[in-house]
Structure 1
Amino acid sequence: MKQWVIEIIHNIDILCNVAFWISAMALFALSLNGDQSAKEIAGFWLKVFLVSLFGVVVIPSKEVLEAML
């Protein structure tokens, strides 16, 4: 059971890392474009970026999880 929980948390961590980098690149690309529709789309990507940043910072690595549990 413990290994199952570690794997679930680790998969969420991977998802947050992928979302973090994709949203960072999307925000960068949208910042180069100055029109209004790009700013509206950037609002969505900023929310994705902030949520994934929280996951990247808070969720520990798999090795730390194994040591904690």
Structure 2
Amino acid sequence: MLAALDEIAAAHGAPVATVALAWLAAQPTITAPIASARTVEQLPALLGVAGLTLTDAELARLTEASA
């Protein structure tokens, strides 16, 4: 899972946390992923999910990796 997250994050120039939250948000059984930042530096990664759209192939890869 971590290798898939790393690769997809690098392809989008996004933090791994942003990709993980985008993947969770795309799951039909999850209404809203819950995340919190302990520091101000962590906040951009959480907010970045609003601007990140993962492709169907990326979503499938992450779902397969999580199994």
TM over 0.5, shorter chain: no
- The structure showing larger relative contact order (alpha-carbon pairs under 8 Å, at least 6 residues apart) is 1
Which structure features the higher share of helix residues? Answer: 1
* Structure 1 length-normalised TM: 0.30
* Structure 2 length-normalised TM: 0.30
